[in-house]
Chain A
């Protein structure tokens, strides 16, 4: 077990470096030259009473200084990447990169990236965790009920709804919900996480946040209901047709035991990746939902960073997303071992 995890972690590190290197190189293709802009800005303040040649010379000097400061005094992508990781020294010999805990500086927010992300991730996790609990609470019983009553009116009705829900892009569900609940009924506010300018405390604050969060949660729940119900149903149907279930029935076990003990245990295996992946996914935020509700979460942070070309922030978010993806894969594989004792992960 321990060896397996170490092996997996090494593999993860390899993939992580590969992916981040590709992304790093890609993102350095974007035309952005911080040293150039900063040097120009500083020159603006100095250039009074200078001739053109003096200005050019001064600019070259400033430009070089800023390039060295930002570590962009080379075009070698590998060196740039190593500097970003913190494995290659800057011009003045100091190391400043991920391994030193320096993820860069967000120019849009004027804050170090690492300090910026906290509240956004907290918001995303709050809303994601609530909706994930609701989603699993609804979809798993529903999927099981459909599978055990396969072909019934109830099952067929649910199938039609899940088919439509599954085929609807999530943003259309959000549009419909916003129109119904905000514009027509006026039950929920359209955006934000608390009433602007309010300073509630205690229970009132909780209620206020709940009021603001309710619609995003409802939307998130609805947009993922269909697909998870379908997967639960499919894996449950597969499990119910297994020989062990037939044996269990033949033994005269009650239907309850057959379904929840024998079949469900088998059906859980494909479900693991959904559940674990879902819980890790909430760390990354729900991009479209956050965009539509103006909800300050990870997804919106990333989208805004993309729009304003806030490169250090984009790179950091990419690291977070890649890491979440890789780590959740590891956890999923470990969970397979727990759910299915036949899977020996120590190999």
Chain B
């Protein structure tokens, strides 16, 4: 009978075990086990052990190793994730880039509207990685990824005077926030490298930057008469009731900014609406019959839904007027005076089309994000459409909404009191984004598929070549053996990395699909790796050939080939299995190293190696730590587990090794 341990004794025992080791634990905490009960069977003490087959024994001994079992589970899970995972990312594609989402740290807070704001929302805006919200009390909130790249600026540090003031309008650009106080005072913070919010000597002397207009800086605007405050990539626009338009910021980001700047220091007038796409400012002039860009023919083909055929703007409108416009990266949605929507510009491939409204319902407001639009109807329903890469255009059922706001990839529906009814869209990035704005978590899964496939296929090729050549060589001996072993030696003396580099730069010259290229890499890795297997197999065969069972088979007249493959091969399979596991990890490492150097798998195809290549720059490695840390941790973890399995297999299959670990 075993005495039950109390908790304190258990804790003390574990501490001793952890700090000093099991031998102390045994010495100090003697187990109170009574004498072993003797089992009698047929009147004799039964101390027999069950005889199990060698394979079963290996399996049982393997199960005794905790780490090995965990490793097997981890590797299986990893395989499942990288091979089944891509089916759960239907919107993922290798070459995805998003300029507004570059180098974002891991966060899932893109949609976490602060508690204090949730019931009194006045407005919410976002352009890139962070969102800015304004409460009905005039308080400003910022959430999302607020650290701006390498600039060390945290845009979430709201300036003191903004916190103290009552704010009437806010808007967010890619790296700046503009706020207008209820007394007309002007605030801006964030990055000012392109004169986003402040006139400094450096920005004034730069001809490519439009300065902040004096009226704005001096606080001459009456917030009651502000119709719209909106920010673009690195630019801002304020539109007044009377059609006066103030625009400033980086002209290089918006090539047609000059058309909106007015003449001789006087702001442009006569505008009804304004917004920013990624490359153009779009406006609505007082005729309200076309999208004004200052460039002829741009955004002049309108259609009612994304899939539909375009018509010339004049024919399309047919007398109707455009009430407001709202812009995304490449397209503009126009709200017409009959409550319908017209679309101009280009859409990404992955879109949700404009919904069919209920009878008698019509749009009263449309807000644009980076790719999607969210529209509010007169009956208080909310619909999203447009780009849907992050499911931002799949609006839930919302009733009684009075206002909608669109962030970059998010939408918020708000009721008449300013309470948040619902929000949908992109929460953030678990592992952050890379320098092209792609989601690293998705690329880790897709890259794992490629890295593991390359490793596995390379090992399979190695085994097929190596084992059959080793078998033939070892079994037949003589000149066959000498010849094959010489061939193996030649292959073995090929310097791996230099040869791989030459081969992959040769492959780069040949035009072939990325998949064929990938397969060629696997084949080359396999062809360079087989001599190891051949040597091991041959050595094992030489031992096995002398054993009695082979002599017996020969005496019975079994064919040579049959003896080699049917009698000997099963006996050496354990050694091959061990080496297969270790080679798999080694192949994965070779592939990642080559891809890291830029000579293996190339962008846009992800691999765990080429995803890390940016970290070879020490500044990028420290500033964008998430771009290598997670990927390399997963890579190391996987290879550690695979190697653990290989090591344990070798241990448990070795009849000489004792049971002590």
User: Contact residues of A with B, CB < 8 Å?
Assistant: 15, 18-19, 23, 26-27, 29-31, 151, 153, 163-164, 166-172, 175, 178-179, 182-184, 190, 241, 284, 287-288, 291-292, 302-303, 306, 309, 314, 317-318, 321-322, 324-326, 329
Q: Decide if B593 touches A169 in the complex (CB within 8 Å).
A: yes
Please choose the segment from B254-262, B325-333, B500-508 that sits at the chain A interface, where 4 or more of its residues have CB less than 8 A away.
B500-508
| Known contacts A163-B647, A321-B495; A175 and B639 CB within 8 A of each other | no
Q: Decide if B506 touches A30 in the complex (CB within 8 Å).
A: yes
Q: Decide if B490 touches A306 in the complex (CB within 8 Å).
A: no
| Known contacts A15-B493, A19-B490, A171-B612; A164 and B593 CB within 8 A of each other | no
Chain B neighbourhood of A329, CB < 8 A:
493
B640 at the interface (CB under 8 A from A): yes
User: Contact residues of B with A, CB < 8 Å?
Assistant: 21, 489-490, 493-495, 497-499, 501-503, 505-506, 509, 585, 589, 592-593, 596-597, 599, 609, 612, 615-616, 618-619, 621-622, 625, 628, 632, 635-636, 639-640, 642-644, 647, 656, 660-661
Complex CA gap A167/B503 in Å reads 25
Chain A neighbourhood of B498, CB < 8 A:
284, 302, 317-318, 321
Q: Decide if A153 touches B593 in the complex (CB within 8 Å).
A: no
Chain B neighbourhood of A178, CB < 8 A:
618, 621
Sample 5 A-B pairs with CB under 8 A, ordered by A number: A30-B505, A163-B647, A172-B612, A183-B622, A287-B597
Tell me the nearest residue of chain A to B609, going by C-beta.
A169
Q: Decide if A166 touches B643 in the complex (CB within 8 Å).
A: yes
Chain A neighbourhood of B505, CB < 8 A:
30, 306, 309
| Known contacts A26-B506, A329-B493; A288 and B597 CB within 8 A of each other | yes
Chain A neighbourhood of B489, CB < 8 A:
15
Complex CA gap A291/B612 in Å reads 14
Q: Which of B494, B501, B636, B656 contacts A306 (CB 8 A)?
A: B501
Chain B neighbourhood of A318, CB < 8 A:
495, 498-499, 502
Q: Decide if B647 touches A172 in the complex (CB within 8 Å).
A: no
| Known contacts A190-B618, A314-B502; A153 and B21 CB within 8 A of each other | yes
Q: Decide if A167 touches B495 in the complex (CB within 8 Å).
A: no
Q: Decide if B615 touches A169 in the complex (CB within 8 Å).
A: no
Q: Decide if B616 touches A291 in the complex (CB within 8 Å).
A: yes
Tell me the nearest residue of chain A to B613, going by C-beta.
A171
CB distance from A90 to the nearest CB of B (A): 26
Q: Decide if B644 touches A172 in the complex (CB within 8 Å).
A: no
Tell me the nearest residue of chain B to A292, going by C-beta.
B616
Q: Decide if A163 touches B643 in the complex (CB within 8 Å).
A: yes
Chain B neighbourhood of A166, CB < 8 A:
643
Q: Decide if B495 touches A325 in the complex (CB within 8 Å).
A: yes
Complex CA gap A29/B621 in Å reads 37
Q: Decide if B506 touches A29 in the complex (CB within 8 Å).
A: yes
Chain A neighbourhood of B632, CB < 8 A:
168, 172, 175
Complex CA gap A163/B618 in Å reads 26
Q: Decide if A183 touches B621 in the complex (CB within 8 Å).
A: yes
Complex CA gap A341/B646 in Å reads 33
Q: Decide if B21 touches A179 in the complex (CB within 8 Å).
A: no
Complex CA gap A166/B599 in Å reads 22
Chain B neighbourhood of A169, CB < 8 A:
589, 592-593, 596, 609, 635, 639
Complex CA gap A287/B423 in Å reads 51
Complex CA gap A318/B493 in Å reads 12
Chain B neighbourhood of A288, CB < 8 A:
593, 596-597
Complex CA gap A329/B597 in Å reads 27
CB distance from B585 to the nearest CB of A (A): 6
Chain B neighbourhood of A170, CB < 8 A:
593
CB distance from B454 to the nearest CB of A (A): 14
Complex CA gap A30/B609 in Å reads 26
Q: Which of A19, A163, A302, A314 contacts B494 (CB 8 A)?
A: A19
Complex CA gap A36/B635 in Å reads 46
Complex CA gap A27/B501 in Å reads 11
Q: Decide if A183 touches B619 in the complex (CB within 8 Å).
A: yes
Beyond the given pairs A167-B636, A168-B632, A302-B501, 11 more chain A to chain B contacts, judged by CB atoms under 8 angstroms and listed by A's residue number, are A15-B490, A163-B643, A168-B639, A169-B635, A175-B612, A179-B625, A183-B619, A183-B622, A287-B597, A314-B502, A325-B493
Chain B neighbourhood of A19, CB < 8 A:
490, 493-494
Chain B neighbourhood of A31, CB < 8 A:
509
Chain B neighbourhood of A23, CB < 8 A:
499, 502
